Amino acid sequence: MEKQKLTELIKQKKNEKNIKILAHTYQSPDIIDLADVTGDSYMLAKAAQKLDCETVLMCGVRFMAETVKILSPEKKVLLSAEGATCPMALQIDPKEVVDFKKKHPDYTVCAYINTTAELKAVSDVCVTSSSAVRIIERMDAENILFIPDKNLGRYVQMNVPGKNFAFFDGCCPVHNSITVDDVIAEKEKHPDALFAVHPECRPEVAELADFVGSTSAIIDYALGTDSDVIIGTERGVTDYLKIKHPSRNFYQLRGDLLVCRDMKMTTLEEVYSAIIGSGAIIEMDESLRLAAKRPLDNMLKYGG
Ligand code: 13P
Ligand code: SF4
């Protein structure tokens, strides 16, 4: 079906069925155009609780839909693309965390929200990239095991001196792929541009940046300056900025290579299937849901 027709049909059906669409900013512009709420992980987690509807469609990856289900069990939660998962969310086995806790009972386990429900269930508090520093600063805990993203963990460690950190060997394959050479090459092409990166990038890349922040913080930073900006995060952010300000120069680091394959699995066809009832439904055992909810509640409590 032609794109515009399909978009209209989705809008009509979602209104008839009162389905709200949540989309992470990394989604393609076609999907963002359909969304009731667009934002970063923290914003979506909070927004999900307040939506007045029976069904929510998450356009993103599985952990995001799981988070909605954990916080809003009364809602039917759909995931836009059945196989869309964050590879980092699967890098650590919950058993490793349980074993660590047995050996180091004085450590508090902080799980990045990009984790499975099973991993959240063995953690003490969840954080997002926009709330991690704030939450860990506020928590009355000296020793932190930060999982799974060691890059984000190191970024938090730098910004929260005075606490002890331990890490496992996880990372986002998309952000971790950016090298110092990529940054130098892009800066040589645009010597006057500022450079903004996501804290999921390697520390040596973040060190070269004028600004380090979450998806929404990068967007605010780029829109708040008159300078050109090199964007060091998933290409959806650059697409979003260009739509908002077509006359401005935003340069995507690594061009088309900095794309999260899982985030981009959602197509208009998948959204249509989900809306008409042929998509993936998130189901969760109640005991797992309650165990995974505790660290999310702590996140919302400390995150403010
Ligand atoms: P934020 O949306 O929290 O910035 O995280 C980026 C990300 O990688 C989402 O999967
Ligand atoms: Fe996971 Fe990285 Fe993709 Fe985000 S961009 S969903 S962290 S793989």
Q: pLDDT tens for residues 39-57? A: 988 788 889 889 989 999 9
User: In whole numbers, what is the pLDDT of the chain averaged over residues?
Assistant: 95
Nearest CA to ligand 2 atom 7: 172
- Predicted confidence at residue 149, as pLDDT, reads 98
d(CA 219, CA 231): 9
Instruction: With a cut of 70, say whether residue 59 has pLDDT above it.
Output: yes
Query: Looking at per-residue confidence, does 48 or 211 come out higher?
Result: 211
Nearest CA to ligand 2 atom 6: 86
Number of continuous H segments (helices) and E segments (strands) in the chain: 14, 13
* Contacts of 281 by beta carbon, 8 Å cutoff, 6+ apart: 76, 77, 78, 79
Q: Are residues 296 and 70 in contact, defined by beta-carbon separation less than 8 angstroms?
A: yes
C-alpha of residue 18 to centroid of ligand 2, in Å: 29
Paired tokens of 262: 């899982």
Q: Are residues 136 and 109 in contact, defined by beta-carbon separation less than 8 angstroms?
A: no
- Predicted confidence at residue 48, as pLDDT, reads 85
Tell me which ligand sits closest to the C-alpha of residue 128: 1
Q: 40 CB less than 6 Å from ligand 2?
A: no
pTM: predicted TM-score of the whole model, two decimal places: 0.93
Q: 157 CB less than 6 Å from ligand 1?
A: no
pLDDT in tens, 223-270: 999 999 999 999 999 999 999 999 999 999 999 899 999 999 999 999
pLDDT in tens, 160-194: 999 999 999 999 999 999 999 999 999 999 999 99
Tell me which ligand sits closest to the C-alpha of residue 220: 1
pLDDT in tens, 94-151: 999 999 999 999 999 999 999 999 999 999 999 999 899 999 999 999 999 999 999 9
Q: 67 CB less than 6 Å from ligand 1?
A: no
Ligand 2 atom nearest 63 alpha carbon: 6
Q: Are residues 116 and 95 in contact, defined by beta-carbon separation less than 8 angstroms?
A: no
Nearest CA to ligand 2 atom 4: 86
Q: Give the mutation target among 40, 234, 238, 253 for probing the ligand 2 site: most ligand atoms within 8 A of CB.
A: 234
- Predicted confidence at residue 289, as pLDDT, reads 98
- Predicted confidence at residue 40, as pLDDT, reads 86
Instruction: With a cut of 70, say whether residue 155 has pLDDT above it.
Output: yes
C-alpha of residue 213 to centroid of ligand 2, in Å: 15
Instruction: With a cut of 70, say whether residue 153 has pLDDT above it.
Output: yes
In the chain, the percentage of residues whose pLDDT exceeds 90 is 90
- Predicted confidence at residue 304, as pLDDT, reads 64
- Predicted confidence at residue 181, as pLDDT, reads 97
d(CA 17, CA 29): 23
